Protein backbone atom coordinates (compact mmCIF):
# COMPACT_ATOMS: atom_id res chain seq x y z
CA UNK A 1 0.00 0.00 0.00
CA UNK A 2 1.22 3.48 -0.83
CA UNK A 3 2.22 5.88 1.91
CA UNK A 4 -0.67 8.21 2.86
CA UNK A 5 -0.55 11.80 1.61
CA UNK A 6 -1.74 15.06 3.12
CA UNK A 7 -1.08 13.89 6.68
CA UNK A 8 -2.05 16.63 9.13
CA UNK A 9 -3.73 17.43 12.42
CA UNK A 10 -6.49 20.03 12.34
CA UNK A 11 -7.65 19.46 15.91
CA UNK A 12 -5.93 17.25 18.49
CA UNK A 13 -9.32 16.19 19.89
CA UNK A 14 -10.40 14.81 16.48
CA UNK A 15 -7.44 12.85 15.10
CA UNK A 16 -5.01 12.72 12.18
CA UNK A 17 -6.35 13.38 8.68
CA UNK A 18 -4.80 11.79 5.59
CA UNK A 19 -5.61 10.51 2.12
CA UNK A 20 -5.06 7.11 0.55
CA UNK A 21 -5.13 6.10 -3.09
CA UNK A 22 -7.51 3.13 -3.17
CA UNK A 23 -8.08 1.60 -6.58
CA UNK A 24 -7.18 4.85 -8.32
CA UNK A 25 -9.50 6.95 -6.16
CA UNK A 26 -8.28 9.34 -3.47
CA UNK A 27 -10.25 8.87 -0.24
CA UNK A 28 -9.97 11.10 2.83
CA UNK A 29 -9.69 9.44 6.22
CA UNK A 30 -9.28 10.44 9.86
CA UNK A 31 -7.84 8.09 12.47
CA UNK A 32 -9.37 9.16 15.76
CA UNK A 33 -7.40 10.48 18.70
CA UNK A 34 -8.84 7.67 20.79
CA UNK A 35 -7.50 5.05 18.36
CA UNK A 36 -4.06 6.67 18.43
CA UNK A 37 -4.14 6.60 22.23
CA UNK A 38 -5.49 3.06 22.55
CA UNK A 39 -3.36 1.37 19.90
CA UNK A 40 -0.41 3.54 18.87
CA UNK A 41 0.99 5.11 22.04
CA UNK A 42 -0.37 8.67 21.90
CA UNK A 43 -0.59 10.16 25.42
CA UNK A 44 -3.85 11.14 27.16
CA UNK A 45 -3.47 14.80 26.21
CA UNK A 46 -1.52 14.61 22.96
CA UNK A 47 0.13 17.46 21.12
CA UNK A 48 0.07 17.58 17.33
CA UNK A 49 3.60 16.13 17.32
CA UNK A 50 2.52 13.28 19.64
CA UNK A 51 -0.30 12.41 17.28
CA UNK A 52 1.88 12.50 14.17
CA UNK A 53 4.49 10.30 15.89
CA UNK A 54 1.78 7.81 16.87
CA UNK A 55 0.49 7.78 13.27
CA UNK A 56 4.01 7.29 11.87
CA UNK A 57 4.73 4.48 14.35
CA UNK A 58 2.51 2.05 12.43
CA UNK A 59 1.02 3.83 9.45
CA UNK A 60 0.79 0.53 7.54
CA UNK A 61 -1.64 -0.87 10.11
CA UNK A 62 -3.66 2.35 10.04
CA UNK A 63 -3.73 2.31 6.23
CA UNK A 64 -4.86 -1.35 6.21
CA UNK A 65 -7.72 -0.58 8.62
CA UNK A 66 -8.63 2.42 6.46
CA UNK A 67 -8.72 0.34 3.28
CA UNK A 68 -11.18 -2.05 4.91
CA UNK A 69 -13.54 0.92 5.38
CA UNK A 70 -13.29 1.97 1.75
CA UNK A 71 -16.75 2.46 0.32
CA UNK A 72 -18.21 3.46 3.68
CA UNK A 73 -20.73 6.23 3.06
CA UNK A 74 -19.45 9.59 4.28
CA UNK A 75 -19.90 13.26 3.64
CA UNK A 76 -16.19 13.70 3.09
CA UNK A 77 -13.93 11.94 5.59
CA UNK A 78 -14.17 8.30 6.65
CA UNK A 79 -13.34 7.99 10.36
CA UNK A 80 -11.18 5.09 11.51
CA UNK A 81 -11.94 4.53 15.19
CA UNK A 82 -10.45 2.45 17.98
CA UNK A 83 -12.96 -0.31 17.16
CA UNK A 84 -11.44 -0.73 13.70
CA UNK A 85 -8.24 -2.20 15.18
Quote the pTM value.
0.92
For residue 2, the model assigns a pLDDT of: 87
What is the widest separation between alpha-carbon atoms in the chain? 36
Query: Pairing relation of β-strands 25-32 and 15-22?
Result: antiparallel
For residue 25, the model assigns a pLDDT of: 85
| Residue 67, CA atoms < 13 Å, CB-side half-sphere | 15
**pLDDT tens-place values along the chain, 85 residues long:** 789 999 999 998 999 999 999 888 889 999 999 999 999 999 999 999 999 999 999 999 999 999 999 777 667 899 999 999 9
Rounded to whole angstroms, the Cα distance separating 62 from 39 reads 10
Where exactly are the structural domains of the chain?
5-84
Amino acid sequence: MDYPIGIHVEDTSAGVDYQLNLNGHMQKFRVSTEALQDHFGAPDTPTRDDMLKAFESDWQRIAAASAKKSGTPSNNIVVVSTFDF
